Homo-oligomer: A and B are copies of this chain.
């Protein structure tokens, strides 16, 4: 095999394919990136068997071939090469990587054990801008559970109805929901995409409004295609939680508050929260102000923020981290919070695009 690729194209491609290379695996071939120049294209492939990423890099093929190279070593080498044309020559398993005056030699492996991306049926697909896809992932994914024992909570629901995409993430303490309009209408579809897949895709997607991504879904797989890249992922199978039963529009208290002021106060409050003694922040909601109080073994904080309110006064406690996560996922200058009682979930929502549900935390008078 003999290839020539510009260093900056090669490093961009390697960075994409390497996102699917697992940090730990018992199958050593999966620690490799496959360089496949058996056709007229140079394809770089990484695959941990749950998630596979293939990207095409520009370059010239003087001699066809396939080789697997250790992803860490190869990407480190490519990253440190000078900015110029990289020539990759393979003889047997000896891989020579030459650029300007530098010549590296490493051992590769033949690609016969390597697992290519699965063939995925493209009969159901939607189109979305890369910017929007990256954006809705970022504004929901923090709510996923990292606990593999509740596997359904480690993936996001993507639900398509007509020209609407609803994305849902939850972890048992909170639910994050985002709606976006699609350009076209599609038949109804619900899939649960693993959080890891979405995290890795977010890092590859461009933030470009004009560029689109195509998403294809079967019962078991999702396929994402954008730019020169194809991502194949297993889906989480099973019935998702009944979200609509958890959402309510009832409220007794409606608070309108400056988002940044609330965030800054919560940020200060987290100073006083130690992992071991999780103290809630307590909101004493009155007519034109909310008094925020936290009281821990480290010390206490007391702060007052102006609000506009309709409905009843209320005292309610929260894990400050959950409020912070939701407020950071919102851009609005002011937010609306809807509350029913000190035991019922709080909703931070607008009319059309987002709804963040957060369960309150019980508190005792000593916390005040």
Contact = CB atoms under 8 A, between A and B. Distances in A.
A105 B299 contact: yes
B103 A301 contact: yes
Nearest to A265: B102
A107 interface: yes
9 smallest beta-carbon distances between A and B, as pairs: A106-B299, A102-B303, A105-B300, A80-B268, A103-B302, A76-B271, A101-B304, A101-B303, A104-B301
A42 B300 CA distance: 25
Contacts of A105: 299-302
A108 to B, nearest CB: 10
A144 to B, nearest CB: 27
Contacts of A80: 264, 267-268, 271
Interface string A257-279: 00000001101100100000000
Contacts of A303: 101-103
A287 B310 CA distance: 86
14 contacts: A73-B271, A77-B271, A102-B265, A102-B268, A102-B302, A103-B301, A103-B302, A103-B303, A104-B299, A104-B300, A104-B301, A105-B300, A105-B301, A106-B299
B76 A299 contact: no
A11 to B, nearest CB: 14
Contacts of A101: 265, 303-305
A74 to B, nearest CB: 10
B106 A298 contact: yes
A82 interface: yes
Interface in A272-330: 298-305
A81 interface: yes
Number of copies: 2
Nearest to A79: B271
A134 B73 CA distance: 37
A145 B302 CA distance: 48
Contacts of A73: 271, 298-299
Contacts of A265: 101-102
Interface residues of A, number: 26
Given A102-B303, A105-B299, 17 more contacts: A73-B298, A76-B271, A77-B271, A77-B299, A80-B264, A80-B268, A82-B264, A101-B305, A102-B265, A103-B302, A104-B299, A104-B301, A105-B300, A105-B302, A106-B298, A106-B299, A107-B299
Nearest to A304: B101
Contacts of A305: 101
Interface in A80-130: 80-82, 101-107
A334 B301 CA distance: 58
B268 A81 contact: yes
A73 B301 CA distance: 13
Contacts of A304: 101
A83 to B, nearest CB: 11
A271 B80 CA distance: 9
Interface string A144-170: 000000000000000000000000000
Contacts of A82: 264
A73 B296 CA distance: 12
Contacts of A300: 104-106
Contacts of A268: 77, 80-81, 102, 104
A302 B105 CA distance: 9
B301 A102 contact: yes
